[in-house]
Amino acid sequence: MLHVDLDQFIAAVEVLRHPELAGKPVIVGGRGDPTERAVVSTASYEAREFGVGSGMPLRIAARKAPDAIILPVDADAYTAASAEVMATLREQPGATVQVLGWDEAFLGVRTDDPEAYARAVQRAVLDRTALHCSVGIGDTLVRAKVATGFGKPRGVFRLTAANWLDVMGHRPTRDLWGVGSKVSQRLAAHGITTVAELAAAGPDVLVPEFGPRMGPWYGLLGRGEGAREVDDTPWVARGHSRETTFQEDLIAPAQVDEAVRELVADVLKDVAAEGRPVVGLTLKIRYAPFITKTTGKKIPETSDPEVVLAGALELADRIEPGRPIRLLGFRAEMAMPADARDGHTPTRSGW
């Protein structure tokens, strides 16, 4: 299995569009205005040297890299570039392709020389799109995904059962694909701080803490185990979400009510295009200065917009009164087709 990950994808696309930016610190986020509330979508390697990273408030990024060029997000351009990359991957001999997002995909191949195959993939992507990528090689999807990080930028790295613990054993659990800060803190409370310690942890520790499904799954992650086949079944969205960062905090209940109604209306447009009923709702609230809470509920299957709106407003009633709000987000989870792959893979972020 190969994991192909485009290097600094969004920034690289912008540099292709604006060649004069090559070698300069480039930050992409929001509408490109650091005086507005927005976060960094991506930063070029040159900008990262100043400590700029994805998810950072744009105004802080501008402070860290005062000479950086800050550009607005152009989703259409990134979607088009991604489509070219994925088309190239699908053209590789004998490859089964599982797309993970704009800038990454798994390839399942049969080859006696995976490193040579990986280099050929890199050349093919570069020749067609002028974009560079890194490739991780593994005997499981988890190992291939983690291996890519050691190959960046523009490199190839292999992780298998033979060298997994040698490479990863001493590293913190946070370095694993699918283990975020909260999970790593919960593991640390049980004395599990490294990948090797997680690999050795038994179900008697993991199941009481994480449950009968996630407990064993985290144990597998620690050992680098998991799926050994690339699944090219078309990805089907589990849900749709929208969020808005407000340039001025919302305080009045009428402002919150109006914002929630607008978010629900936008999300329901996406849901309607899917033709599947809604089964769950989540409201995301970011209070000033930067404290994020989420609240959600399951609902009986419905395609009635009024029922969804009523549920969303019910969640909004849980917002702490009088507390300034800088961001609201709404997500509607849909019923999944019986034959669909929902693309559930470990992730470091999302809601």
- pLDDT the model gives residue 80: 96
Would you say residue 351 lies in a domain? no
> What secondary structure letter does DSSP report for 301?
E
CATH of the domain at 313: 3.30.1490.100
Q: Last residue of some domain: 114, 144, 161?
A: 161
Does one domain contain both 148 and 170? no
Does one domain contain both 172 and 153? no
pLDDT band at 47 (very low <50, low <70, confident <90, very high): very high
Does one domain contain both 127 and 218? no
Does one domain contain both 78 and 150? yes
Nearest residue to 208 via CA among 219, 221, 195, 220: 219
Would you say residue 106 lies in a domain? yes
Does one domain contain both 193 and 271? no
- pLDDT the model gives residue 233: 84
- pLDDT the model gives residue 290: 86
**Containing domain of residue 200, as a range?**
164-223
Average pLDDT over residues 274-294: 94
Higher pLDDT, 233 or 36: 36
- pLDDT the model gives residue 350: 43
Average pLDDT over residues 202-220: 94
Average pLDDT over residues 3-32: 96
Would you say residue 343 lies in a domain? no
Largest pairwise CA distance in the chain: 64
Would you say residue 348 lies in a domain? no
Integer Cα distance of 175 and 87 in angstroms: 30
Provide the pairing of β-strand 156-159 with 104-108.
unpaired
Does one domain contain both 33 and 102? yes
Does one domain contain both 153 and 106? yes
Mean pLDDT of the chain: 93
Does one domain contain both 175 and 246? no
Does one domain contain both 193 and 276? no
Q: Which of 112-121, 144-153, 154-163, 236-245 has the lowest mean pLDDT?
A: 236-245
Q: Which of 97-111, 208-222, 327-341 has the lowest mean pLDDT?
A: 327-341
In the residue annotation, 36 being an active-site residue is answered as no
Would you say residue 198 lies in a domain? yes
SS3 (DSSP) at 322? coil
Provide the pairing of β-strand 26-28 with 69-71.
parallel
- pLDDT the model gives residue 341: 55
Average pLDDT over residues 70-87: 96
Q: Last residue of some domain: 198, 223, 248?
A: 223
Integer Cα distance of 55 and 284 in angstroms: 16
Would you say residue 32 lies in a domain? yes
Would you say residue 325 lies in a domain? yes
Judged against a pLDDT cut of 80, whether residue 261 lies above it is answered with yes
Q: Last residue of some domain: 161, 178, 203?
A: 161
Judged against a pLDDT cut of 90, whether residue 193 lies above it is answered with yes
Would you say residue 345 lies in a domain? no
Does one domain contain both 189 and 94? no
Does one domain contain both 300 and 170? no
Catalytic residue among 104, 197, 225, 333: 104
Alpha helix positions (H), the chain: 9-17, 45-48, 58-64, 75-90, 114-129, 141-151, 164-168, 181-188, 195-200, 203-223, 253-274, 305-316
Number of domains making up the chain: 3
Judged against a pLDDT cut of 60, whether residue 343 lies above it is answered with no
